[in-house]
Amino acid sequence: MPLLRLDNISLSYGYLPLLADVQFQIEAGERVCLVGRNGTGKTTLFRIITRDAVPEAGEVWGHESLQVAHLEQDVPPDTEQTVFQVVASGLGELGRLVFEYHQATQQAGAAERPSLEKLAKLDARIESLGGWNLNQKVETILTRLSLPPDKPMEACSGGVRRQVMLARALVGEPDLLLLDEPTNHLDISTIIWLERFLLGFHGALMFITHDRSFLRHLATRIVELDRGKLNSYPGDFDAYLRKKDELLEVEESAAAKFDKKLAEEEAWIRRGVKARRTRNEGRVRALQDMRRERSRRVDAQGRASFSIDAGALSGKLVVDLRRVNFAYGDDLVVREMSTRILRGDRVGIIGPNGSGKSTLLKLILGEIKPTSGEVVLGTRLQLAYFDQHRRILDPDKTVRENLSDSDYVWVQGHSRHVIGYLKDFLFPPQRMDSPVKALSGGERNRLLLAKIFTQSANMMILDEPTNDLDVDTLELLEDLLADYQGTLLLVSHDRTFLDNIVTSTLVYEGDGKFVEYAGGYADWARYQESRAKTPNRTPPAAIAARAQNRPVNRSGKLSYKEKRELESLPARIEALEAEQAEFHIRMGEAAFYRQPGAIITAALERLEALRNELEECYARWQALESQLSAAGN
């Protein structure tokens, strides 16, 4: 027996028929992924299931005891409530009592008599309702997501707020869990934790996501919302893609035959009065039926179509970070960061929320200055910046007004009408005068892409560009970036997107350190796995410390051997850097990753050995130079 069933659900918003006689049911233990283009009504379908929206026709059926939890797509607004209070609210009235008990325990720490009396009353009330295990559930879920219980929500970042609302949805252990873009604003480690958690979740799961890795790991069935209809595809995502392609080919073939037959009948009816003789009335009625059928047909939505203008070539050196440090007060966010980004490089930045990825972008953009060190930008740079917070979009202006003050926009050296240009980004004419605040998350991201692609840019900095985009638009963006001739700097938690785009990654490894690796996320993860299996491996930081602490001549002067060593270090460092650069060039070629896995692994290990050796050489050089300076030589 199904947990929930939708019978002939219909709903329209304005000119859009979002749902048309939808039939759907979900069984206990299923993990269903709802896919479809942005704006097709996926979030609306979730709101109908939770009874927050009422359909125009049809019925929603579920067990009387069915408990449904819903993680919405948007990040919650500012509130004075604490993290513990918001998570506990997912337990209903009992959650309020649990929160009051949590507050009373904080006050009781000061041995206040009124608080102790309140504590005793709350204890008795919660005990009578059998709710003590719920308090443990709140604390457990907060611990798993590393959330601070007493921190106000208004002081939390967007990513942390997203995790808090996720904890609120999970804490009640619902029978049916609805997740609308659950990976948005989550870092990779949290996404992986969430995957593992949901694989062990005993209830039914229905989720919307653009994260193909997340989808592939979780879904047992794919349900597509397309032109108001729900179509079910048992099996995994790759099976769905194959079946979908087959069905589209059949649909296109049938539509072409129908249109050809309709054209023939239209030509026949135009030939004159002979067509209206009594013996042909049946054919006339058949033509009228065909016309009505064609008018009711909803064609498949076209794919987005846009391009990137890489503009003029920049200089060969794009960005050079030289021993950069940056701190907010006593908090050192970026430590001893040294790297070079050359023309044509495709660099991904990976790290947990709050690790300093956005700070690193601001340093590169020149929006902030390093506490120490130097950031050198190359020549002839034309920058385009995709901001995940979409701050360059005015929510009160319309779609058209956000793009241009006139009816035309200048794109790749040509003038184009705003409506025609926005159609390439799947905005219908009826949407042009809608305010941006009325758009879905995916539509806002498409509008932001439309805005930044009007400018020529030989360096693109993309901060979480994949949030809320549907899979079709995401794959088109991948194709465009793969052919992009400029330099790319990408912050993303989408593992598949990183693997398909970047040739090297800067990975946050704690204590303000970003370390460069060849390849995408999968290459880094594979390397980390092989490194973990290698016994007695010396960490790079320990290598540098060992070099600096190597015994030196305590007389204050350099010995003959140390002088020779100091003289030879520049040539040795130059040779190591040349070999390192050669490896980076080889690994930047697509053919490199088509080699056998053993060759790729050996190359990655050699590159790591070069990095460690260079770090040791630099540290040793610094130690000897310091000794030479102190001795007055």
Q: What are phi and psi of 178, to 5 degrees?
A: -105, 120
**Do the domains at 317-524 and 538-630 have one common CATH topology?**
no
**For residues 414-438, average pLDDT:** 82
**Between these two residues, 124 and 221, which has the higher pLDDT value?**
221
Mean model confidence pLDDT for the chain: 79
**For residues 104-123, average pLDDT:** 61
Predicted confidence (pLDDT) per residue in 7-21, tens digit: 999 988 765 678 888
**For residues 598-619, average pLDDT:** 79
**For residues 379-387, average pLDDT:** 83
- The answer to whether residues 382 and 314 touch, using CB atoms and an 8 Å cutoff, is yes
Identify the band that residue 108 occupies on the pLDDT scale cut at 50, 70 and 90: low
**For residues 213-234, average pLDDT:** 88
Identify the band that residue 296 occupies on the pLDDT scale cut at 50, 70 and 90: low
**Between these two residues, 126 and 184, which has the higher pLDDT value?**
184
Instruction: For residue 578, give both structure tokens.
Output: 């040349």
CATH architecture, range 317-524? 3-Layer(aba) Sandwich (3.40)
Task: Give the least confident one: 174-188, 331-345, 535-549.
Answer: 535-549
Fold of 538-630: Helix Hairpins (1.10.287)
**Full DSSP string of 548-572:** HTS---TTSS--HHHHHHHHHHHHH
Residue 591 pLDDT > 70: no
**For residues 136-165, average pLDDT:** 81
Instruction: For residue 119, give both structure tokens.
Output: 């504590």
Q: For 441-465, b where at least 16 C-beta lie within 10 A, e where not — what string?
A: bbbbbbbbbbbbbbebbbbbbbbbb
Identify the band that residue 554 occupies on the pLDDT scale cut at 50, 70 and 90: very low
- What is the structure's pLDDT at 485? 84
**Full DSSP string of 246-282:** HHHHHHHHHHHHHHHHHHHHHHHHTT-GGGGSGGGHH
- What is the structure's pLDDT at 612? 81
Residue 30 pLDDT > 80: yes
Q: For 583-600, b where at least 16 C-beta lie within 10 A, e where not — what string?
A: bbeebbeeebbeeeeeeb
**For residues 340-360, average pLDDT:** 88
Tell the residue number behind the tokens 């039914």, with chain if given: 204
CA end-to-end span of the chain? 87
- What is the structure's pLDDT at 154? 82
**Any idea where the domains of the chain sit in the sequence?**
4-239, 317-524, 538-630
Tell the residue number behind the tokens 């023939």, with chain if given: 264
Please, which residues bridge with residue 35 across strands?
224
- What DSSP state is assigned to residue 34? E
pTM for the model stands at: 0.67
- Torsion (CA) 589, 591, 592, 593 in degrees, nearest 10: 110
- What is the structure's pLDDT at 205? 93
- Multiple choice CATH, 4-239, 1.20.1250.20, 3.40.50.300, 3.40.50.12280, 3.30.70.260: 3.40.50.300
Residue 441 pLDDT > 70: yes
**In the sheet that 331-342 helps form, which strands lie side by side, from edge to edge?**
331-342, 317-328, 372-377
Rounded to 10 deg, the angle between the 113-128 and 132-144 helix axes is: 100
